[in-house]
Amino acid sequence: MTEPDTTPRTGKRVLLAKPRGYCAGVDRAVQTVEEALKLYGAPIYVRKQIVHNKHVVRTLEAKGAIFVEENEEVPAGATVIFSAHGVAPEVYAQAKERSLKAIDATCPLVTKVHQEARRFAAEDYDILLIGHEGHEEVIGTAGEAPAHIQLVDGPDGVDKVTVRDPSKVVWLSQTTLSVDETLETVARLKTRLPLLQSPPSDDICYATSNRQHVVKEIAPDCDVVIVVGSRNSSNSVRLVEVALDAGARAGYLVDFAHEIDDAWLADARTVGVTSGASVPDELVQQVLGHLAERGFTDVDEITTANERLTFSLPQELKRDMKAAATARA
């Protein structure tokens, strides 16, 4: 006979989004630093935050990674890893000049946008890059063809656009934007430039779209949506915006469970929980534990997609790992 469930019912519940957290590009980038530390030993230099998450950066620092802003901070001849967000070609050139051993952890889906930018620039298109000014990914992509690329920072940036030939214009985008806002930007661009071409395939990546999609599903039923992620994580910030647009009555971004203010939960019966693509799931589990201590013990995981994509490690690292394994044999 099955024992009766004696768990007290509080009427408070959590809707846990799936997919959430680590995407294939972040997983690869973090593994790249970990494997490089094992193979070459500490310190390993990483240009910019490898992914935009405080916890991940602190954990890798504790293992011997040193995060720098620019190549000049890396001692000549040392190993430097470029972050998942990608870099402009001049950054590779600087690394070469300083005889740095560069390992490129750029997400392959960002590399795809770089390739599109190079291709359309070679065909002399004007390229309208939809993205957030100052974001590392946008700086890297724009650096592929600065003379051909102009940034369009959301729908309000459309009026500033000027092109040489309205019949030879294409739009590309940052990978971590709001899907809906980008569609709005493109629609506005098309009213000014009816012959505007679209990218050959979606630039907003599968992980960004999937995380936004599931948040849209749960948000209308949520009094509060808590997104675990860092402030400089574009896709995490977008999740809060998407949750609010989709009907959540409140939405907050936290790096850690202890940042949750009890006042946010005071009148809540249903709390939505998700996390950005650079967030390890242990941080989400800590949030669930924090909520359970406050009576939110019923957790329903709402799944709208199953992700199976993985990326292999950068070639240059794999080559050295293979050589080391052969030497040991």
- The token pair at 200 is 């050959």
Q: Positive or negative CA dihedral for 228, 232, 236, 239?
A: positive
- The CB-nearest residue to ligand SF4 is 25
Q: Which residues bind ligand SF4 (CB under 6 A)?
A: 23-26, 84, 107, 109-110, 175-176, 205, 207-208, 235, 277
- How far is 83 from 153, CA to CA, in rounded Å? 22
Task: Give the C-alpha distances (Å, rounded to integers) separating 61 from 43, 46, 57, 65, 71.
Answer: 9, 10, 6, 5, 18
The answer for residues whose C-beta is within 8 angstroms of residue 37's C-beta and 6 or more apart is: 44, 60, 63, 64, 65
Cis preceding-peptide flag for 19 (omega within 30 of 0): yes
Bridge partners, 173 (sequence order): 130
Which residue in 209, 249, 257 sits closest to 229, CA to CA? 257
**Between 23 and 128, CB nearer to ligand SF4:** 23
Please identify which of the residues 35, 136, 137, 144 carries the catalytic annotation: 137
Residue 282: active-site member: no
The answer to whether 258 touches 272, Cβ cutoff 8 Å, is no
Q: In what order do the strands lie in the sheet with 149-152?
A: 149-152, 126-130, 169-173
Q: How many residues appear in the chain?
A: 329
- CA 34 from centre of chain: 19
Shortest CB 174 distance to ligand SF4, Å: 9
Shortest CB 314 distance to ligand SF4, Å: 14
Q: Which residues of 113-130 are buried (b: 16+ CB within 10 A; e: fewer)?
A: bbebbbebbeeebbbbbb
**Between 105 and 288, CB nearer to ligand SF4:** 105
Helix, strand, or coil (residue 224):
strand
> Which residues are known catalytic residues?
137
